[in-house]
Structure 1
Amino acid sequence: MMQLPIDDILPQLLDTLSAHCNAVLVASPGAGKTTRVPLALLGSGWLKNQRIIMLEPRRLAARSAARFMAASLGEQVGETVGYRVRMDTRVGPGTVIEVVTEGVLTRMLQSDPALEGVGIVIFDEFHERHLHSDLGLALCLQTQAVLREDLRLLVMSATLAAEPVAALLGDAPVIVSEGRAFPVETIYAEGRAAGRLEDAAARTVMEAISRDEGDVLVFLPGAGEIRRLEGVLKGALSSQGEGVRVVPLYGSLSAEAQDSAVAASPQGERKIVLATSIAESSITVRGVRIVVDCGLSRVPRFSPRTGMTRLETVPVSVASADQRRGRAGREAPGICYRLWTEADHRQLQPESDPELLGSDLAPLALELAIWGIADPAELAWLTAPPAGAFAQACQLLRSLDALAADGKPTPHGAAMAALGMHPRLAHMVLAGDGLGFGAASCHLAALLSDRDPLRSSRSIDMRLRLEALHGGAPGAGLDEATGRRIAAEAREWMRAAGIRPHAGAERDAECCGILLAQAYPDRIAQRRGDGRFLLRSGRGAIVPELQPLSSAPYLVVADIEDAGADSRIMLAAPITLAEIERYCAGQLEWESHISWDRSALSVRARRKLLLGSLVLKEGPLSDADPERIMEALMGGIAEQGLDILPWTRQSRQLLERIRLMHVHNPDNWPDLTEATLLATMKDWLAPYIGGMRNASDLGRLNMTDIIASGLTWQSRQQLDEEVPTHLTVPSGSRIAIDYSDPTAPVLAVRLQELFGWQQTPHIAGGKLPITIHLLSPAHRPVQVTKDLASFWQQAYFEVKKDLKGRYPKHYWPDNPLEAMPTNRAKPRG
């Protein structure tokens, strides 16, 4: 067997694990840790015929590692060495080393928290910080602390800062293997590339294959860029004849396609592998001497604010860039072309963010609930789950009936967790089975778990995907391999859920909207015109192009890009109002809306059928609560002001007279200012407005009687005596007093009617002088006074000169105190 750098430290590692239960191994890329460490542990005395579980972040890496180790032993996979990945298990009764992917480890822990029969759990490539790696380590640490102090844990990484992990593992020993990588020359771009990413990559690849030897590994952010670059390269290579093959490598490819991409090229042939970050670590792509790195990675970003996840393209970290470069030096000296400048490289963050910080935490929250943990703080984490995202996840799980109000899992939640799929899809499968759509729900779950098989289609209609899966959409573009893989996954979930296949699968599309409403109840959307929709959460969404679903009254959105003012709907299915009422009945709420309509000056009583922010139905509320009607009416009066009430001169004067008495005697007279009246309407107005709804009804009120009803008989007598409504002046006229200013009541009277009135009259028990507005014969003010005697003695004669000239036919005596008052031009004579 070929000597590898990791072999030098294996004795130290074995001694450490004999003396300690936990350890951290840091080994450079290419050191051989993934395939040599598990085999080296087979003979350890502490293992005692127990199994070794090694966690690999990706299925491709898990299968490759198991096959390599089995071949090293001269065996087939499934004998001493086996693997368990989703939908593919190769283990036998004699299997000691099991290479598993992240979800599988979680299921093993949930079914057997003590991990009986397991001697050690190895976390490989821990630096990638996948959510399930962090979760698995946290659960294993609790298992070790509570149930299995003999259980050993080994964390292995190529680029991880070892100290925090060692501290988390109880100050575990750290072992370092320097590794042995062949030298790799690094070439940076001279400037930032203009135009499309794949065009810049294509130019670099074509230059590299003409100048350098070996196969090429190109790192791209996603499958879309891989497909576009594949087309560009095949066109560029077509003129060069045979000898160079372009192959994609990403997670949703079949196992056969992935294995083919990493296998060594036949003699005389070169290959260009277009890969996502799946090829960054754990696996060796045979024959690679050249790496072309675009420097970007696509990661999910979950928003607790919207409850949605969007894929975000971000620059790689320095650690990831170094991992990618190292792929060129696994088997011989190599070269790495970086499509960014050296200055840009200095701006990269040292390490990638843990997946746990930007992910939808619903799967983690459900796993913790099944484990018996309501608060993540009860476990030891390298990075704690964000509180906002975790609360959002628990809220979603409650809406899916997975968690009870106390945070404990329901029986339905336990059944969801057992399926090993996202809680949304698990709920859809179980609920769909109960509705008689079990097989359809599994087909739909398999489609939603994979990349969109019709991603080249402009249609967002999820029903087309189901029809294509069943061969009912000719020309839809679903390739045979993809269809087989998705169908196999659907069958696996049917088996896991105990659902039997059914005839007539081509009718699955008819229930697509109903099923999506089970998985995405928060994404039911209502059309608001022109391809624009309102989600149940209150957020806007838009169908990107005009198509049949643009005019659907209701949609259920399965995939959405949360960006901009309105999110972009990527996948959806229609649902009818009748289906919402039937299949989402427990989420609907009738709400009575009784409110004041300012434009109509009336109380409106309506009932609305609501689904979150969506108003599904609306109509008059015939049996509205009279108390609520009255409250709304008083609210309208408060909004409009007291002027909406039918005040007469008499009622307003009564109000003002009482206000005057309050100003001068606040202890014995009520406060009837507008602010107080508005605040106390329930006391003084409510008894009179029963059955009323609008301003027209209010017009029937007698405000004089209403205001007076608040006074005792004695108070009314005192009011009439001390604050009269009118005063009789010397001419005999009975003139109303204006009490609008409670500190200065006004008597407006023609000057000639006051001849002979020597003193200013007083009210309020003689305490308050009347302010007299003396008017001309044309009823225009000529003088204002509170001292009538002084007016007669000093100002009258000047006023007389002016008025006599303007009104010569009227009576202007020289001695007003002895003259006869008159309400005519001249006194009767």
Structure 2
Amino acid sequence: MNELPIQRVLQGLLERLGSGTSAVLIAEPGAGKTTQVPLAFLNEPWLEGRKIIMLEPRRLAARSAAEYMSRMLGEQTGETVGYRVRMDSKAGRNTRIEVVTEGILTRMIQSDPELDHVGMIIFDEFHERNLQGDLGLALALESRAVLREDLRLLVMSATLEAEPVAALMGDAPIINCPGRQFPVETIYKPMAAGYKLEQHMAAVISEAAVAHPGDVLAFLPGAGEIRRVQAELERGGLPADSVIRPLYGQLPQKEQDAAVRPDPENRKKIILSTSIAETSLTIEGVRIVVDSGLMRTQLFSARTGMPYLATGQVSRASADQRRGRAGRTAPGVVYRLWSLEVQDHLRQRNLPEILETDLTPLALELAAWGVTEPESMLWLDPPPEAAYERGRELLYRLGAVNENGTITSRGKRMAGLGMHPRLAGMLLQAAEIGQGSLASTIAALLQERDIFHCGSLDRDADIRGRLEAVILWERRGIAAANTDEAALKRVAQESRHIRKLLGISDGEDMDIEKSGLLLSFAYPDRIGQSRGDGRFLLTSGRGVEFPRAQLLSRCAYLTVAEVDDQKGAEGKILLAAPLSIEDLYRYHTEEIEEELIVEWDSTSGSVKARNQTRLSAMVLRESSASQPSSELVAEALLTGIRSEGLGLLPWTKQAKQLRQRLQLMHLADPQWPDMSDEALLECMEDWLFPYILGMRNRADLQKLQLTSILEHMLGWDRKIRLDQEVPTHITVPSGSRIAVDYSDPAQPVLAVKLQEMFGLYETPRIGHGKIPLTLHLLSPAQRPVQITSDLASFWKDGYFDVKKDLKGRYPKHYWPDDPMEAVPTKRTRPR
């Protein structure tokens, strides 16, 4: 005990928390902080007989730490030191140190905000930045600020950046402690092309086990990979005196203990573990680490509104933690299944869970705490606003909060169950209709990995088969074919635990055909309506489909509990149950809406009206509506015009010119109405709506008098000014009255025969003489021979070249030598 590095800083830590209420301890791996620090505070006078609560992120670590401290005291676990994790606890009335997991701490603070019986809370391995850890610290800080100013808070970590958390805790002192780390050699073994992970991992483990002394700790992303690597290793390549020990959170306690403790036959252990062994645990005898470099985390898709499991590269901090496992008790070696180049590009740390996960549970806990705005609390990383709002919207749909985000009586009961709000809401609603026992089994199944042995995309998605297997196990102790017996036991145990929480007897009848209904209580956003061919539209608007044809593919309605949504336009349904239309109407009546839909149909070019019965994005029933109001029809017409463009309206030549003239005035003076497509489409309610009342289709729109409608926008005074400044026609020297082309309002054009302009020296202008017209001077064949905005310059420099060119082609026409003295004419020659 005295050899542990933590002993060097314990006295300073005791003094800091004797005079203050906060501290941050940064202790490197192997320092002994997890087991030594809580014991050191047991006899502090300020504790006054109260408990020390130490938070551990994982159940195995919590149990192991409590057992180790108990052995140090020469006691049984549950005496001075105990633990409490979900569905397992060893703690009594005399327990002074309780090691708990994160959800347990949250429940403790929620049920007793003053924490009368607690003198100190220790947050161990805080660098993992789990959602519940961040929440627990936020609640503890608020409890201390408002109710318990003497409550001691200690944050411990191996790799945390200490300054931000110290500032959060009121500039808490930071104590640093070096670890006890033996040298560890690092060997990079990137996977060659064509190899699968399990093949490469098994090969490297075999190589390392033969080449080096000590036990092997191999890190893999999940239980599936562990099973496949184990199968590869069992084919051969390991030393004869070795034994394979899986280690992951869902294993039975006995198997976890076998992986952590020394082998009773002194064999070489090959421990295949998830990141559960990354921190907190010291596994005696491990001198070899083989790291796949992968980890599995639950992320939340903002695109689909659904959570999903993702496998990704570990951070540099996690890789270093794993490497350190090899040097706890003696020199070791780590094999990394990636290259040195990849190592140089690893991100420094894992992203805090609060920034990338489903925040519905957090929103419920804060509502139960009495907080509707999370920014009012202290966070290392505040909950992202969009994700938090999505979580609160789901809570409202589940009946856990009201429109203001304040918790309801149902919400309080949901929070007390200590599980995801979806499952908690399902359990309460199911109990009300006499199906609490079935809901308990469903909830247990949804929190466990699949009890069937099969690939995720090949399995039958019907949850009813799994329920039947669990019921068969509970009632007769028989494991159905192709089931995982260990998983069955865990589901049965969890189901009994939930029934006990709800006060439901084990003998309550279960109607498995109500499975889809109960799932709809948990997943109201995942009720699906068939689109044919095994494809479904969810109430959320998301499209999903079965990866292969199965009986559920033919259901009219179902509820989806699990979706593979990582790629593709449509999610893959992994777990679901059928839902009858009768149950849908009976139990989701409040969410079903009757709606009159009046919308533009581009195919027929008319407004269609129909009555719809909807459940969110799903249309349950539809029929034609006969007499929608003229206002609704007019609004639909406007929508049609916006979607198809202003070309749907009857733009006569006169209307087009008027619009162009008005746009010229707008360019000169923005106070005049904007006639661009964008502007007219945006404000159609102002200028067009009154004229289309009573109309219903494209033919009706053709009756509109757009010239009159646009003039009405102007008023009398502006119309007079428009005619004066931007005339429709210009009278040229020949006496002809020629229309001005305003197609380009920035450059109006007057196209006129050259002979009709004789005698006019200056270019005609509009806009009170400010805007010169662009003259298209035409040949006798009405083709432009000159384009100019400077007529005087043309007469002087260009006319004679044009005359020379055209006189031979049009000898009968009038080509005077002096255009200024000539008589203008629209005929071949002047009279």
TM-score (norm 2): 0.77
Shift of 1:117: 1.7
Mapped partners of 1:463, 1:191: distance in 2? 41
| Aligned counterpart, 2:506 | 501
| 2-structure distance, mates of 1:326, 1:685 | 77
Equivalent position of 2:526 in the other structure: 523
2:492 aligned partner: 487
1:5 aligned counterpart, secondary structure = coil
Structure 1 pair 167/653, CA: closer, same or farther in 2 (3 Å)? Answer: closer
8 A contact 1:214–1:288 mirrored in 2: yes
| Residue equivalent to 1:109 | 109
C-alpha distance in 1 between matches for 2:684 and 2:153: 75
Whether contact under 8 Å (1:513, 1:575) holds in the other structure is: yes
Question: Matches of 1:637 and 1:358 in 2, distance apart?
Answer: 42
Q: 1:791 — aligned with what?
A: none
State the 1:559 CA deviation. Answer: 1.3
Q: 1:552: how far off?
A: 2.2
Equivalent residue number for residue 287 of structure 2: 289
- Distance, in Å, in 1 between the alignment partners of 2:293 and 2:124 is 24
Q: Which residue of 1 aligns with 2:315?
A: 317
Per the alignment, in what secondary structure is the counterpart of residue 43 of structure 1?
A: coil
Counterpart of 2:468 in structure 1 is 467
Rg larger for: 1
How has the CA–CA distance of structure 1 residues 461 and 14 changed in structure 2, closer, same or farther, with 3 Å as cutoff? same
Three-state SS of the structure 2 residue aligned to 1:349 is coil
Shift of 1:443: 0.7
**Letter aligned with residue 524 of structure 1:** I
Identity in percent: 50
Deviates more, 1:281-290 or 1:419-428: 281-290
| C-alpha distance in structure 1 between counterparts of 2:641 and 2:165, whole Å | 67
Kept in 1, the 8 Å contact 2:56–2:99? The answer is yes
Q: How does 1:368-767 map to 2 (within 5 A)?
A: 368-454=366-452, 456=454, 458-471=459-472, 475-505=480-510, 507-508=511-512, 510-564=513-567, 565-622=569-626, 624-625=628-629, 628-629=632-633, 686=693, 689=694
**Alpha-carbon spacing, 1:603–1:9, altered in 2? closer, same or farther (3 Å):** closer
Going from structure 1 to structure 2, the CA distance change for 1:501 and 1:678 (only over 3 Å counts) comes to: closer
What do the CA deviations read for 1:55-102 (whole angstroms, capped 9, x no partner)?
000000001111111111111111111111001121111010000000
Q: For 1:24 and 1:637, locate their aligned partners in 2 and report how far apart those are by CA, in whole Å.
A: 64
Q: Residues 590 and 178 of structure 1: is their aligned pair in 2 closer, same or farther, counting only changes over 3 Å?
A: same
353, 356, 363: which is aligned to 1:355? Answer: 353
Are the structure 2 counterparts of residues 604 and 185 from structure 1 closer, same or farther at C-alpha, using a change threshold of 3 Å?
same
Equivalent position SS for 2:31: coil
- 1:237 offset after TM fit, Å? 5.0
Whole-angstrom distance in 1 between the partners of 2:205 and 2:648? 81
Counterpart Cα distance in 1 of 2:506 and 2:387: 37
Instruction: Provide the residue aligned with 1:648 in structure 2.
Output: none
Distance in structure 2 (CA, Å) of the matches to 1:573 and 1:347: 44
Determine helix, strand or coil for the equivalent of 1:390: helix
2:96 corresponding residue in structure 1: 96
Corresponding residue of 2:153: 153
Q: CA deviation at 1:623?
A: 5.7
Residue deviations 1:494-552 (CA, integer Å, cap 9, x gap): 121222333444x33x1111111111111122222333222222222221122222232
Whether the 8 Å CA contact 1:520–1:558 is kept in 2: the answer is: yes
Deviates more, 1:544-553 or 1:111-120: 544-553
Partner of 1:72: 72
What one-letter code is carried by the residue in structure 1 that aligns with 2:401? L
Residue equivalent to 2:820: none
- AA at the equivalent of 2:348: P
Q: Output the TM-score relative to the length of structure 1.
A: 0.77
Supply the distance in 1 between the matched residues of 2:216 and 2:114 (Cα, whole angstroms). 45
Contact 1:130 1:355 in 2 (8 A): yes
CA distance in 1 between counterparts of 2:2 and 2:265 reads 22
Aligned partners of 1:376 and 1:364: how far apart in 2?
Answer: 10
Query: Deviation string for 1:295-326 (max 9, x for gaps)?
Result: 11111111234221121212111111111111
1:390: Cα distance to partner?
0.9
Question: Which position in structure 2 is the counterpart of 1:23?
Answer: 23
CA-based RMSD: 3.5
Structure 2 counterpart of 1:802 = none
Name the aligned partner's letter for residue 181 of structure 1.
Answer: Q
Among 253, 256, 261, the alignment partner of 2:259 is: 261
Deviation, structure 1 residue 655: 12
Q: Pairwise mapping of residues 101-250 of structure 1 onto structure 2 (< 5 A)?
A: 101-189=101-189, 194-237=194-237, 243-250=241-248
Q: 1:280, 1:698 → 2: CA distance?
A: 71
Task: Tell me how far apart the structure 1 counterparts of residues 186 and 697 of structure 2 sit (CA, whole Å).
Answer: 81
Q: Which amino acid aligns with 1:619?
A: S
Do 1:237 and 1:244's aligned partners in 2 also have CA atoms closer than 8 Å?
no
Question: 1:539 corresponds to which letter in structure 2?
Answer: R
Q: What is the CA-CA distance between 1:568 and the residue it aligns to?
A: 2.1
Matched with 2:803 is none
- How far does residue 419 in structure 1 lie from its aligned partner after superposition? 0.2
Measure the CA separation in 1 of the matches of 2:190 and 2:598: 68
Q: Does 1:333 align with 2:334?
A: no
- For 1:81, the equivalent position in structure 2 comes to 81
Q: 1:260 to 1:697 in 2, by over 3 A?
A: same
Q: CA deviation at 1:229?
A: 0.5
Output the amino acid matched with 2:370.
G
Q: Deviations over 1:216-242 (max 9, x none)?
A: 11000111111111111111258x65x
**Superimposed CA distance per residue, residues 741-786 of structure 1 (whole angstroms, 9 cap, x where no aligned partner):** 999xxxxxxxxxxxxxxxxxxxxxxxxxxxxxxxxxxxxxxxxxxx
**Cα separation, partners in 2 of 1:58 and 1:654, compared to 1, 3 Å:** closer
1:128-176 per-residue CA deviation (whole Å, 9 max, x = no partner) reads 1111111111111111111111110011111112121211121211112
SS of the residue corresponding to residue 236 of structure 2 reads: helix
Deviations 1:761-815 (Å, cap 9, x if unpaired)?
xxxxxxxxxxxxxxxxxxxxxxxxxxxxxxxxxxxxx9xxxxxxxxxxxxxxxxx
Range that drifts further, 409-418 or 282-291? 282-291
SS in structure 2 of the partner of residue 593 of structure 1: strand
Q: Secondary structure at the match of 2:472?
A: coil
SS in 2 for 1:402: coil
C-alpha separation in 1, matches of 2:380 and 2:331? 36
Question: Is contact 1:166–1:174 with CA below 8 Å preserved after alignment?
Answer: yes
Q: How far apart are the structure 2 equivalents of 1:677 and 1:547? A: 51
8 Å CA contact 1:469, 1:478 repeated in 2: no
> Matches of 1:575 and 1:69 in 2, distance apart?
52
* TM-superposition CA deviations, 1:403-427 (whole Å, max 9, x none): 1111110111111000000001000
Report the secondary structure of 1:207's partner residue.
helix
- Cα distance 1:446–1:643, how it changes in 2: closer, same or farther (>3 A)? closer
The question of whether the paired residues in 2 share the 8 Å contact of 1:317 and 1:352 is answered with: yes
| AA matched with 1:274 | L
**Does the aligned pair in 2 maintain the 1:265–1:286 contact within 8 Å?**
no
Q: d(CA) in 2 for partners of 1:685 and 1:297?
A: 62
- CA separation of 1:476/1:550 partners in 2, compared to 1, >3 Å: closer, same or farther? farther
**Distance of 2:368 and 2:339 partners within structure 1:** 48
